[in-house]
Amino acid sequence: MSKYTEDDLEQELKTKEYEYGFYTDIESETFAKGLSEDVVRAISKKKNEPEWMTNWRLEAYRVWEKMDEPEWANVNYTKPKFQDIAYYSAPKAKPKLNSLDEVDPELLDTFKRLGISVDEQKKLANVAVDIVIDSVSVATTFKKTLGEKGIIFMPISEAIQEHPELVRKYLGTVVPTTDNFYAALNSAVFSDGSFCYIPKGVRCPMELSTYFRINEGGTGQFERTLVVADKDSYVSYLEGCTAPSRDENQLHAAVVELIAMDDAEIKYSTVQNWYPGNKEGKGGVYNFVTKRGLCETNAKISWTQVETGSAITWKYPSCILKGNNSIGEFYSIAVTNNHQQADTGTKMIHLGKNTKSTIISKGISAGKSQNSYRGLVQINARAENARNFSQCDSLLMGNDCGAHTFPYIEVKNKSAQVEHEATTSKIGEEQLFYCNQRGIDTEKAIALIVNGFSKEVLNKLPMEFAVEAQKLLEISLEGSVG
Amino acid sequence: MELKDKLLSSYVAFENDVDTNSDIHEIRSKAFQNFEDLGFPTKKLEDWKYTSLNSVLKQDYSIFPNKDNGIQLSDVQKYFIHDIDTYKLVFIDGRYSSFLSESTHDTFDVCLMSAALIKPKYKAVIENYFNKIAKKDNLTSLNTAFANEGAYIYIPRNIEVEKPIQIINFTTGSETATMLQPRNLIVVEQNAHVQIIERHQSLTSNSVLTNSVTEVFAAKDATIDIYKIQNDDKNASLVDNSYIEQKSNSIVSVHTFSFGGNITRNNLNFYQRGEHIDSILKGITIIEGKQHVDHHTLVHHIEPNCESHQDYKGIFDERSTGVFNGKVIVDKEAQKTNAYQKNNNVLISDRATINAKPQLEIFADDVKCSHGCTIGQLDNDALFYMQQRGIPEKEGKALLMYAFANTVLESVKIPEVKSRITKLIADKLGVNIGFDL
């Protein structure tokens, strides 16, 4: 399915270090470290926000102050010192650009090294890219094409200025500011992110994608994404992440809200490859994300994620199936290697009648890593004929890693049909022997088997991402089997 | 007075009754301290997320019930498995009834905990096994603090106990509310074999809270089958804490039949300390009304080449709630483990609730572990098929439910227990059929 050959893989495997670990030297404007009401006000002022927005942030901050960090997840780490983080950093003098030529050449070079050639993508991939470097978007493409359809796709900070009525109406409705510790923190200090609105009956003609990167040492990144699909519309949204190598732990606490109105469909795909720390488990990104979608009648939300990076992953993309006949899907591959720890899964809350949800989760653990699936399937008393199918498979490589499953199933309706199954296994010696016999060496055989194991999820990704994800899987597991 | 305070003050009275200058009492004091620190479990604890004891703890329990009770054999005979010869250890309001019991010291001991704790003859066993695997959590600590009476069973090497042992705890309701804390110890030495039937039964509708702890040790090649029959009055609540340690090649099975009671919580813990061990955990739950049954199982695979099989079936009607929390831990060293867990539930009513959390924690790579959990309904096509052939709806449903639960019944080794359970299921489903069609 790809142009990617085995020789390429071999090349990839030789570059053992994290290949995206570089640092772009762009003069940044960074706030002093620490968080207080003044900092929240300053962030808001910096972004020239209206008063309701400032108050909204302050409210979140006040709630956050009173909250404790969640400790229930199956992960161990030194807690970030929240007063030791700078809460705002942006490339200086945000340029207002109409074409890519005006973009800082150094930035463009960064994108090239990341493998995202903006101009190439513009021509070939038919993807509108809203690139975020340290929270502030500097390049937005295809805006015009989208504009003709009435689709709004812009940095959320601009959306607050240009479409305050939409943002105000929907922001925080799916993930309230009081939802959890990290969501509250994000609400108080989020610097930027994306806003997307698809009008009634419009089918978004292209995949919308945003590339996030963390830059600037010691900066936390707090993204806020809001996708609203109005009645009978469709959108496929892609999000991909890479981060440069850093020794000190970096905090990433994003919030993603999806709203699918009657008959609408949102497909949200993520490839996450934040810096996982070095082989001794030093450094790496802390990824504490709140993602949730709301489905109205006949709506559908589908989450697909490939998680290969981060030192700590704490992430549960969820669906609230509020409307009758709505559908929620969750497809996930989580790969952990070395000292990585992942506690990830989903929540499917069935409220409406005839609601359906599917959960396919594939966990692959290698090295000294810990990989947990944590999920909730809740069928409420009024959710007649709700249907859920969950499958969690874990693949263990080596004897120092762990795989954990924590599925919660809560059913209050007799017509519900809920199935959950989980398996844990390793790559069979016979499978490897079979490959070896046919001239495939062990390392490649493992890549092959892992790809097969993950196929159900990889197939759900849009083409461009599937290629990238497949590559990532192989790199992440490099050297994990001796 | 809050129950906790009452227990704290009762402990002083309890100390007047027992020998305080012993090792056992030191264990009690520590456990008491532990309970004082921890208090009763609340829903804030992950392990008690779905089960609240609040309503149960509100009662004004009598900790040391009246001694006088005029219980006759005819009053209680129906609760025995009486169609076979068995050893019996019968406790009435927490006190041993020699009149109703049939104990033995012949080649093995089937006797009383209170005697075993003080007589020198049992000292070595008590020292080696008493309170060794019981967790130090709140309710187990509370039991340990007041540990005095219960069943003491010791089976030496190579002995196959020829008839089952019944352990039955009756409450007479001589007080408006009674709290019981039986403490059992079962030690089965190498290559020995024993079958045990356990039951808690309230004879009136007065409130009862039983906080029972049982420790079971299976030495090499030992075989133990335990059947727990829970079909109590709707005002009787039970927290049953069982801890089972197995050595190489031993086989232990526990079948739990939960058909009654107010709140029933089963904490069943298996620790596999040896190779080629087989642990079998099975259960059938059929409840209605506002009943609540919570199965918390733990199988800890510590060494290689062991197996565990779990199979729990639940049928929930009216406003009943069921909880299944099955945890399997496979340690790094426990390669070639084969752990299997299955939990199937049927909801009959829209007001019934099931909360399931089948949990796997795996640290070894060469293992086969799987769990499956389903929640669904009876097959309408099958029901229709039966109705077409002249089987009324009610009986048809009962047959389907019986078939659903049958995988658990199949492995019951004592035919009399099996037929008793079958009868209980028929009663529970309100039909008059033998099921052995």
| Interchain CB contacts (distance < 8 Å): A and B | 121
Q: What is the mean pLDDT of residues A429-440?
A: 90
Q: Quick one: closest CA in B to A402, which residue? A: B363
Contact B241, B270 (CB under 8 A): no
List the one residue out of A207, A197, A219 whose CA is nearest residue A468.
A207
SS in 3 state form for B17-75? HCCCCCHHHHHHHHHHHHHHHHCCCCCCCHHHCCCCCHHHHCCCCECCCCCCCCCCHHH
**What pLDDT shows up at residue B167?**
96
Pull the structure tokens for residue B57.
């703890």
Task: Give pLDDT tens digits for B196-220.
Answer: 999 999 998 999 999 999 999 999 9
Reply yes or no on whether the pLDDT at B424 is more than 80. yes
How confident is residue A131, by pLDDT bands cut at 50, 70 and 90?
Answer: low
Residue located via tokens 């142009």: A3
Instruction: Give the up-direction half-sphere exposure of residue B149: CA atoms within 13 A in the CB hemisphere.
Output: 19
Task: Give pLDDT tens digits for A376-394.
Answer: 999 999 999 999 999 999 9
Q: Which residues of chain A neighbour B370 with C-beta distances below 8 Å?
A: 421-424
Residues of A (39-98) whose Cβ lies below 8 Å from B = 72
Residue located via tokens 């924590």: A406
Subunit contact A414:B347, Cβ cutoff 8 A? yes
Reply yes or no on whether the pLDDT at A107 is more than 60. no
Subunit contact B357:A419, Cβ cutoff 8 A? no
**What pLDDT shows up at residue B68?**
65
Helix-then-strand count for chain A, H and E: 12, 24
Q: What is the mean pLDDT of residues A115-120?
A: 48
List the one residue out of A352, A234, A354 whose CA is nearest residue A295.
A352
> Which element (helix H / strand E) includes A410?
strand A402-411
Q: How far is A165 from chain B (nearest CA, A)?
A: 40
Q: Calculate the average pLDDT of chain A.
A: 79
Q: Which residues of chain A neighbour B365 with C-beta distances below 8 Å?
A: 396-399, 401, 426
Say if residue A125 is exposed, middle or buried (CB neighbours under 10 Å; 0-12, 13-18, 19+).
middle
**A399 touching chain B per CB within 8 A:** yes
> Which element (helix H / strand E) includes B251?
strand B251-258
**What pLDDT shows up at residue A117?**
47
Residues in chain A: 482
**What pLDDT shows up at residue A30?**
66
Instruction: Output b/e per residue, A411-423; b: 16+ Cβ within 10 A.
Output: bbbbbbbbbbbbb
Phi-psi region of B46 (alpha: psi -120 to 50; beta: other; left: phi over 0): alpha
Q: Quick one: closest CA in A to B356, which residue? A: A409
Give every CB contact of residue B402 below 8 A, 6+ residues apart in sequence.
Answer: B422, B425, B429, B435
Q: Which residues of chain A neighbour B363 with C-beta distances below 8 Å?
A: 399, 401-402
Task: Give pLDDT tens digits for A172-204.
Answer: 999 998 889 999 999 998 877 888 999 999 998
Q: How far is A461 from chain B (nearest CA, A)?
A: 27
Range with lowest mean pLDDT among A101-105, A251-255, A332-336, A466-470 = A101-105
Reply yes or no on whether the pLDDT at A73 is more than 50. yes
**In Å, what is the CA distance from A10 to each residue of A17, A345, A435?**
14, 32, 17
Task: Give pLDDT tens digits for B129-187.
Answer: 999 999 999 999 999 999 999 999 999 999 999 999 999 999 988 888 999 999 999 99
Say if residue A68 is exposed, middle or buried (CB neighbours under 10 Å; 0-12, 13-18, 19+).
exposed
- Going by their DSSP bridges, the two strands A28-30 and A89-91 should be labelled as antiparallel
Subunit contact B372:A420, Cβ cutoff 8 A? yes
CA pair distance B399, B435, nearest whole angstrom: 7
Give every CB contact of residue A153 below 8 A, 6+ residues apart in sequence.
Answer: A128, A130, A140, A143, A146, A194, A195, A196, A197, A208
**What pLDDT shows up at residue A429?**
83
Give every CB contact of residue A148 below 8 A, 6+ residues apart in sequence.
Answer: none
Report the sign of the C-alpha dihedral through residues A214, A216, A217, A221, in that order: negative
> Which element (helix H / strand E) includes A136?
strand A136-140
**A6 touching chain B per CB within 8 A:** no
List the one residue out of A220, A226, A207 whose CA is nearest residue A156.
A226
Task: Give pLDDT tens digits for B227-261.
Answer: 999 999 999 999 999 999 999 999 999 999 999 88
**What pLDDT shows up at residue A129?**
53
Q: How far is A409 from chain B (nearest CA, A)?
A: 5
Contact B436, B427 (CB under 8 A): no
CA pair distance A198, A210, nearest whole angstrom: 16
Q: Residue A245 carries which DSSP code? A: -
List the one residue out of B37, B35, B41 whose CA is nearest residue B54.
B41
Subunit contact A409:B357, Cβ cutoff 8 A? yes
Following CA atoms B66, B68, B74, B78 in sequence, which dihedral angle do they give, to the nearest 10 degrees? Answer: 20
**A408 touching chain B per CB within 8 A:** yes
Pull the structure tokens for residue A317.
């993309």
CA pair distance A476, B17, nearest whole angstrom: 65
Distance between start and end Cα atoms, chain B:
55
Give every CB contact of residue B429 below 8 A, 6+ residues apart in sequence.
Answer: B286, B397, B398, B401, B402
CA A300-A329-A425 angle, 5° bins: 170
Could you tell me which residues of chain B have a Cβ less than 8 Å from any Cβ in chain A? 46, 332, 335, 345, 347-377
How confident is residue A250, by pLDDT bands cut at 50, 70 and 90?
Answer: confident
Subunit contact B376:A404, Cβ cutoff 8 A? no
Q: How far is B304 from chain A (nearest CA, A)?
A: 13
Say if residue A312 is exposed, middle or buried (CB neighbours under 10 Å; 0-12, 13-18, 19+).
buried
Crossing angle of helices B393-409 and B380-388, in 10° steps, is 120
**What pLDDT shows up at residue A101?**
56
Subunit contact B345:A411, Cβ cutoff 8 A? yes
3-state secondary structure of B408: helix
How confident is residue B343, by pLDDT bands cut at 50, 70 and 90?
Answer: very high
**A426 touching chain B per CB within 8 A:** yes
Q: Quick one: closest CA in A to B354, which residue? A: A411
Residues in chain B: 437
3-state secondary structure of A308: coil
Reply yes or no on whether the pLDDT at A315 is more than 80. yes
Task: Give pLDDT tens digits for B366-401.
Answer: 888 888 899 988 888 999 999 999 999 999 999 999
CA pair distance A65, A87, nearest whole angstrom: 15
Q: Quickly list DSSP for A182-200.
A: HHHHHHHH--EEEEEEE-T
Pull the structure tokens for residue A365.
């653990």
Strand partners, A155: A194
Reply yes or no on whether the pLDDT at A93 is more than 90. no
Contact B402, B424 (CB under 8 A): no
Reply yes or no on whether the pLDDT at A457 is more than 70. yes
Task: Give pLDDT tens digits for A320-359.
Answer: 999 999 999 999 999 888 889 999 999 999 999 999 999 9
**What pLDDT shows up at residue A171?**
93
**What pLDDT shows up at residue A139?**
43
Q: How far is B349 from chain A (nearest CA, A)?
A: 6
**A406 touching chain B per CB within 8 A:** yes
- Going by their DSSP bridges, the two strands B236-246 and B263-272 should be labelled as parallel
List the one residue out of A26, A59, A46, A299 whose CA is nearest residue A177.
A59
Pick from A72, A399, A420: which is nearest to B373 by CB? Answer: A420
Instruction: Give the up-direction half-sphere exposure of residue B374: CA atoms within 13 A in the CB hemisphere.
Output: 10
Subunit contact B374:A408, Cβ cutoff 8 A? no
Residue located via tokens 């659903």: B404
Q: Best of B44, B47, B343, B363 to disrupt the A interface by mutation (most A CBs within 10 Å)?
A: B363
Residue type, A12: E
Task: Give pLDDT tens digits for B298-313.
Answer: 999 999 999 999 999 9
Q: Which residues of chain B neighbour A379 with C-beta distances below 8 Å?
A: 375
Strand partners, A95: none
Q: Which residues of chain A neighbour B374 with C-beta distances below 8 Å?
A: 417-420
Subunit contact A421:B372, Cβ cutoff 8 A? yes
Q: Quick one: closest CA in A to B326, which residue? A: A406
**What pLDDT shows up at residue B280?**
97
Q: Calculate the average pLDDT of chain B.
A: 92
Pull the structure tokens for residue B60.
């004004």
**What pLDDT shows up at residue A210?**
55
Q: Which residues of chain A neighbour B46 with C-beta distances below 8 Å?
A: 72
Residue ranges covered by each domain of chain B: 3-273, 379-437
Reply yes or no on whether the pLDDT at B413 is more than 80. yes
Q: What is the mean pLDDT of residues A246-266?
A: 84
Say if residue B193 is exposed, middle or buried (CB neighbours under 10 Å; 0-12, 13-18, 19+).
middle
Subunit contact B365:A420, Cβ cutoff 8 A? no
List the one residue out of A179, A129, A137 whose CA is nearest residue A161.
A137
Contact B336, B305 (CB under 8 A): yes
Subunit contact B362:A403, Cβ cutoff 8 A? yes
**What pLDDT shows up at residue A281?**
73
Instruction: Output b/e per residue, B97-112; b: 16+ Cβ within 10 A.
Output: beebbebeeeebbbbb
Task: Give pLDDT tens digits for A404-413.
Answer: 999 999 999 9
**A378 touching chain B per CB within 8 A:** no
Give every CB contact of residue A142 below 8 A, 6+ residues apart in sequence.
Answer: A122, A127, A128, A129, A206
Pull the structure tokens for residue A450.
């892992």
Residue located via tokens 């999920």: A375
Residue located via tokens 């079971």: B216
Reply yes or no on whether the pLDDT at A38 is more than 60. yes
Percentage of chain A with pLDDT > 70?
A: 75
Pull the structure tokens for residue A313.
């992953």
Q: Quick one: closest CA in A to B320, which residue? A: A412
**What pLDDT shows up at residue A464?**
66
**What pLDDT shows up at residue A248?**
56
Contact A481, A442 (CB under 8 A): yes
